[in-house]
Amino acid sequence: MKTFLITFYSTFHAIRFEKAMRESGYEPFSIPVPREISTSCGIAVRFTGEDADFINDFAKGSGLQFDKLYEIVIDQETKKKTYIKLQNNSDFT
């Protein structure tokens, strides 16, 4: 399983997104946004899965937006986390 992180434009968007994921059977977790990737909205949503391809369809179908999508990679030796940006915003206008 891989671990992913989604950042948002506001706390409101983060809470709505987490709630919608939970209601759809996913197991997301709200966490503070790591300072390595953003100093904007202070809440991110972390989730695990085989891939994150579904997230765009999920966001669009739920009428939700996010800022950026990252994969979290942890070096097994040093335990250092690296955030790999997979995608910029999901603005469906």
Q: Give the Cα separation of 9 and 92 in Å (integer).
A: 14
Full domain range(s) for residue 42 = 2-87
In a domain, 13, yes or no: yes
**Orientation angle between helical segments 54-62 and 11-23, nearest 10 degrees:** 100
In a domain, 92, yes or no: no
Mean predicted confidence (pLDDT) in 26-33: 94
Domain harbouring 20, CATH code: 3.30.70
In a domain, 44, yes or no: yes
In a domain, 52, yes or no: yes
Q: Using CB atoms within 10 A of its CB, is residue 44 exposed (0-12), middle (13-18) or buried (19+)?
A: buried
Question: How many domains does the structure of the chain reveal?
Answer: 1
Strands 68-74 and 2-7: antiparallel
Is the pLDDT reported for residue 17 higher than 90? yes
Q: Model confidence over 34-79: pLDDT tens digits? A: 988 876 668 999 999 888 888 888 888 888 889 999 999 999 999 9
Q: Give the Cα separation of 83 and 54 in Å (integer).
A: 19
